[in-house]
Amino acid sequence: MSDYLPKEVRAGLELARKKALRDKSRLRVRVGDQAFTILRYWDDGFALDTEDTPHLRGLVDVFDGARHLSQCLIVASTEEAGEMVYEFKRATPALDHAPLDYERRDDAPVALIGQD
């Protein structure tokens, strides 16, 4: 069907599709002080708009709104349909607490009660 549409109409439809993805997405990639909207996200990577984003590589942080999801080491994979596709070399989930060096028992006390 897209073969029958004029080139300008196809370009307008593509811009509208990207705008809808950008407005709908809460996911962001942060590199230093800059943040870029993630258009598509999957287990092994994500896609960004090529017009708004410089060529990224290395360590980035992925956020869902204000919540830090993960810290990722990325590499650019391919460019397709105006989107730059990035793949994860490493994706470490962000934790709100430090990892334990030991196994916590199920019956361990939650707090200590002092004697007065």
Tens of pLDDT, residues 36-68:
988 888 999 999 888 878 888 899 999 988 889
CA distances to 23, 24, 26, 66, 79 from 82, in Å: 17, 18, 20, 27, 7
* CATH 3.50.50.60 holds for 2-93: no
At residue 20, the 3 state secondary structure works out as helix
pLDDT digit string (tens) for 60-95? 999 988 889 999 999 988 888 788 999 999 999 888
- pTM, 2 dp: 0.67
The CA-based dihedral angle spanning residues 52, 54, 60, 64, taken in that order and rounded to the nearest 10 degrees: 0
